[in-house]
Amino acid sequence: MTLNDIKLINRQALDMGGVPGGYDAIIIAKLAQAHGQILFVARDDVHLDRIAQALNFFAPQVRRLEFPAWDCLPYDRASPHSEILGRRIDTLTRLLQPADECRVVLSTVSALLQRIPPRSAFENATLSVRVGETVRQSTLIDFLITNGYGRSDTVMEPGEFAIRGGIVDIFPSGADQAVRLDFFGDDLDAIRTFDCMDQRSTGKLDHMALKPVNEVPLDEHAQERFRTAYRKAFGAVGDEDMLYQAVTSGQRYIGMEHWLPLFYKKLETLFDYLPKTPVVLDYQWQQAMDARLDLIAEYYAARLNISSGTASESVPYLPVKPDTF
C-alpha cells in the first residue's frame, strides 16, 4: 500500500501496523490534505507532542490545532494551568470558523473522554480590536473580567491583565506573547507585543482577537444554573462550602472547573466541534482509555468516601458524577 492508497473512502475503518516512527505523521498529513481536516487522538501528552513535532518537520504546510487534556488529576482541588486552558479554548474557537486550509487537530484520549463547553458558549465570545478604532476601556475591562481574566499589577502569565492610565497590558488566551494596548482617550493608538520578563516591546500588531481564558463562565445566568444544579445534586448548602459561596458572589474559585457540568445546560464533546471529520487513533488507545476511566472511577470513589464521613477533610468537596462529565 502506498500513501496514495490511503483515502478512507466512505469513512471505512483502516488498521495500520508496523509503521516506523515519524512515518505516522506523514500519513496523517496525507489524510489531512485528502480530506481537509483530520482528528488525531494520541494515547497521552508525550505522543501528542511527538506527533506535533513530526508534523512540523515533515508537513509544515499543514495547520496544527492542539487540544490537550487538563494538566490536573480527576476531582482535583487544583485548576488546570491557564496556558493549557488557553490552548484548548483557542482551538475550540478556531474550529467554529470554516477551515481555509487543511488542518490536523491533535488531542489525547484523556481530553476526548471529557465533555467540554457547548459550541454556543464560544460563538460570540471573541472581542476583536484594531488600531485606529474606538474601544471603550470599560467595555474592554468588562469583557476581560467576564471571560476569566485576572487583574494584576504586572502581567506575567496567560489570563492576566494590568491597567496603567491609558495603557492596558493583556496576556490573551492562546497567545505566545502578551500585548500592550495604548489608548488615546477611547481611540486605540497602538498594539504592541512585549516580553513579560523585562516588559520591553518586541513587535507591533494591527489587530488582535481576545478570547475567554476559562471554560467556566461566571455571568449571572451561569451562576444561577450552578446554584440550582448544585443544590439539586447535593442538597442544602452551608456557609463552609467555599465553592458555592465564591460562585454566588461571582468570584472564581481554585478547582471550580471540576464542577463544569453545573454551569451549563448541556455539555458537548470534541466530536461535536468536528462533525464528519475522519479520526486517526494512536497505537494502544484502547488501553489508554481503560486506564483513564479506571483512574476517574478511583478518584471519584475516594471523594465520595471523604464527603460521606469515612475520611476527614476541612473544606467540603462534593464531586459530580463521572457520567455527567
Indicate if 111 and 158 belong to the same structural domain.
no
* 17 and 47 belong to one structural domain: yes
Q: Is residue 169 part of a domain?
A: yes
CB 261 within 8 A of CB 324: yes
Strand ranges of the sheet holding 279-281, from the earlier edge strand across to the other edge: 63-67, 103-108, 37-42, 279-281
- Same domain? For 12 and 115 the reply is yes
Do 21 and 116 fall within a single domain? yes
Q: Are residues 58 and 139 in the same domain?
A: no
Residue 93 lies in a domain: yes
* Helix (H), strand (E), coil (C) string for the chain: CCHHHCCCHHHCCCCCCCCCCCHHHHHHHHHHHHHCEEEEEECCHHHHHHHHHHHHHHCCCCEEEEECCCCCCCCCCCCCCHHHHHHHHHHHHHHCCCCCCCEEEEEEHHHHHCCECCHHHCCCCCEEEECCCECCHHHHHHHHHHCCCEECCCCCCCCEEEEECCEEEECCCCCCCEEEEEEECCEEEEEEEECCCCCCEEEEECEEEECCCCCCCCCHHHHHHHHHHHHHHHCCCCCCCHHHHHHHCCCCCCCHHHHHHHHCCCCECHHHHCCCCCEEECCCHHHHHHHHHHHHHHHHHHHHHHHCCCCCCCCCCCCCCHHHC
In total, how many domains does the chain have?
A: 2
What pLDDT digit, counting tens, does each position of 47-82 carry? 999 999 999 999 999 999 999 999 999 999 999 988
- Longest CA pairwise span in the chain (Å): 66
User: Considering the domain boundaries, does residue 281 fall inside one?
Assistant: yes
168 shares its domain with 85: no
Q: Are residues 81 and 132 in the same domain?
A: no
Report the pLDDT value the prediction gives residue 228, as an integer from 0 to 100. Answer: 95
The string of pLDDT tens digits covering residues 95-113 is: 998 878 899 999 999 999 9
Decide which of 188, 210, 232 is a domain's last residue. Answer: 210
Q: What is the pLDDT of residue 145?
A: 85
CATH code of the domain in which 182 resides? 3.30.2060.10
Q: Are residues 90 and 140 in the same domain?
A: no
What is the CATH number for 271?
3.40.50.11180
- pTM across the whole model: 0.85
Same domain? For 64 and 131 the reply is no
Residue 297's φ and ψ, nearest 5 degrees, are: -65, -40
Burial of 252 (0-12, 13-18, 19+ CB in 10 A): middle
What b/e sequence results for 294-322 when a residue is b if at least 16 CB atoms lie within 10 Å of its CB, and e otherwise? eebeebbeebbebeeeeeeeeeebbbbee
Beta bridge partners of 281: 41
For residues 133 and 114, state if they share a domain: no
> Are residues 95 and 26 part of one domain?
yes
Q: How far is 68 from 91, CA to CA, in rounded Å?
A: 10
Tell me the pLDDT of the chain (325 aa) as tens digits: 444 555 544 456 666 666 666 788 888 999 999 889 999 999 999 999 999 999 999 999 999 999 999 999 999 999 998 889 989 999 999 999 887 889 999 999 999 999 999 999 998 888 899 999 999 888 898 889 888 888 899 999 888 999 998 899 999 887 888 999 999 988 999 999 999 988 899 999 999 989 898 999 888 899 999 999 999 999 888 888 899 999 998 888 999 999 999 999 999 999 999 998 999 999 899 999 999 999 999 999 998 887 665 455 566 789 999 999 8
Number of Cβ atoms within 10 Å of the Cβ of 263: 24
**Is 252 domain-assigned?**
no
Using the 3D structure, point to which of 191, 210, 229 is the last residue of a domain.
210
For residues 106 and 36, membership in a common domain is answered with yes
Domain coverage including residue 168: 127-210
Q: What is the pLDDT of residue 199?
A: 87
Q: Are 117 and 268 in contact (CB under 8 A)?
A: yes
- Please say which residue of 171, 191, 210 terminates a domain: 210
Residue 11 lies inside a defined structural domain of this protein: yes
